[in-house]
């Protein structure tokens, strides 16, 4: 595969999106867009949700801003929690970063988020919500899941460059935490 124009990197918080996106963009000579940071820096939100400790975005303003950045870029790596907002984009490739739920919990705890927010994100990971959301904008042939549980960011980027971009990796959803967990483990993350 030639260098893609639009690469989307998604996953639940704590899977390594920003670090990996930044490294990938650097290696490919592409622009890196951290959508969450972009929204805050450019005030592309309508309010702040205290309970969820997150901004409520102005979808139309965010879409217009991203559209302009894509049009002005030779290639771009978009780092985003909610890829379904990119329904106006045709990404060449979507990378979904996945992390085993217990490890993800350990990564999220130091963020001092309320317990319900940590559990909500872990349950999203268990249920594969980022992959489902990615499937709303591209077919499975353009989606690659990567397990970041015990893999450092440089190795993940090398996997993208050497396996995915060179056509050696098989696309499509493949990680299923739900089938690996007992009902008791699942109940632990219910919110």
- CATH number reported for the structural domain that contains residue 149 in this entry: 3.40.50.300
d(Cα 28, Cα 6) in Å, to the nearest integer?
11
3-class state of residue 145 by DSSP: strand
Which pTM does this prediction carry?
Answer: 0.95
Domain membership of residue 1 (yes or no) is no
Domain membership of residue 59 (yes or no) is yes
Domain membership of residue 77 (yes or no) is yes
pLDDT value of position 53: 84
Domain membership of residue 25 (yes or no) is yes
Span 11-48, pLDDT tens digits: 999 999 999 999 999 999 999 999 999 999 999 999 99
Domain membership of residue 133 (yes or no) is yes
Span 113-135, pLDDT tens digits: 999 999 999 999 999 999 999 99
Query: Domain range for residue 68?
Result: 6-188
Domain membership of residue 69 (yes or no) is yes
Domain membership of residue 144 (yes or no) is yes
Domain membership of residue 106 (yes or no) is yes
Answer whether 179's CB lies under 8 Å from 150's CB.
no
Site of tokens 């999203």: 124
pLDDT value of position 3: 81
- In the chain, how many domains are there? 1
Q: What is the mean pLDDT of the chain?
A: 95
- Cα separation of the two ends of the chain: 42
């Amino acid at each position: 595969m030639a260098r893609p124009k639009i690469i989307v990197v998604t996953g639940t918080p704590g899977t390594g999106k920003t670090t990996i996106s930044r490294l990938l963009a650097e290696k490919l000579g592409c622009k890196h867009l951290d959508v969450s940071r972009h929204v805050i820096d450019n005030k592309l939100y309508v309010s702040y949700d205290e309970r969820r400790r997150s901004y409520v975005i102005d979808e139309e303003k965010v879409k217009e801003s991203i559209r302009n950045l894509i049009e002005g870029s030779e290639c771009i790596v978009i780092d985003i929690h909610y890829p379904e907002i990119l329904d106006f984009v045709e990404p060449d490739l979507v990378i979904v970063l996945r992390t085993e739920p217990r490890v993800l919990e350990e990564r999220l705890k130091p963020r001092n988020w309320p317990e319900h927010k940590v559990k909500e994100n872990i349950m999203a990971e268990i249920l594969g919500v980022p992959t489902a959301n990615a499937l709303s904008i591209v077919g499975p042939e353009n989606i690659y899941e990567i397990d970041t549980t015990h893999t450092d960011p440089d190795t993940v980027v090398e996997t993208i460059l050497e396996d995915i971009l060179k056509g050696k990796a098989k696309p499509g959803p493949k990680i299923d935490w739900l089938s690996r967990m007992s009902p008791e483990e699942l109940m632990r993350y219910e919110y």
